[in-house]
Amino acid sequence: MSSATEKPVWREWIESLLIIAVLAITIRSFVVAPFKIPSTSMVPTLEIGDYLFVLRYPYGFRIPLTDIQILSKEANRGDVAVFVYPEDKSKDYIKRIVGIPGDVVTYRDNKLSVNGKEMPLVEKGKRAYYMADGTADVSGVFEENLSGVKHQVLRKEYSIRDGEWTVPAGHYFAVGDNRNNSRDSRFWGFVPQSYMVGRAAIIWWSWDGFKNEVRWDRLGLVLE
């Protein structure tokens, strides 16, 4: 004999689904979220078709649908970061943080300097790859030492934008690792702290749309 106060099965299902939905929204908004790479601006670190997990909390917590950030934390030089695109707030961008508040960033002759010190480059060879529109390109591969953070970049013999920028308080200078195929802070300026979404952590899936195959060697790759 059932109790008069026993919940109907349908109500238990609805309550369980609501709890799951709230947990999923909370985790996606404040802990970890998926992100797909749509362009070649971060090759060779990130490829078109890479799917990432992005940690939401390293830079503080953004209130969904607002520019309000609580418990803000400063990014580190060298972080691969996701942020709200300053020229179109409906989009998220992913680039490498090369300048933190107070830094003087100089980009000249396709070489990066921070606070008057040129970041060392070691040539590693050549790299051919497909652009998002299907055209092919070839660039030199270099290992760059960005204040102790070693990572690979693509570059040619010429720059697409030179200049010197002083990063203001509460802002960052972000540049793509594919230095000749990236629209970044060299063009549109600085990223406000409140626009910082999270730090890229790991590649959980990677699909090569040009070859129609999985890039098995990229699965589980921890980003640096």
Active site residue ranges: 41, 95
Beta strands 50-55 and 163-166 are: unpaired
One-letter amino acid for residue 193 of the chain = Q
Q: Which residue has the tokens 């799951």?
A: 20
Instruction: Please enumerate in sequence order all residues whose Cβ is within 8 A of that of 12, keeping only pairs 6 or more positions apart, or say none.
Output: none
Q: How far is CA 193 from CA 1, 141, 156, 170, 190, in A?
A: 60, 31, 31, 5, 9
Q: Which pair of tokens denotes residue 141?
A: 């591969």
Q: Which pair of tokens denotes residue 26?
A: 């909370």
Q: How far is CA 168 from CA 34, 95, 99, 103, in A?
A: 30, 18, 10, 8
Q: 144 in helix, strand or coil?
A: strand
Q: DSSP class of residue 222?
A: B
Please state, in angstroms and rounded to a whole number, the distance separating the CA atoms of residues 138 and 129.
6
CA atoms within 13 A on the CB side of 117: 11
CA nearest 182: which of 224, 142, 207, 153?
A: 153
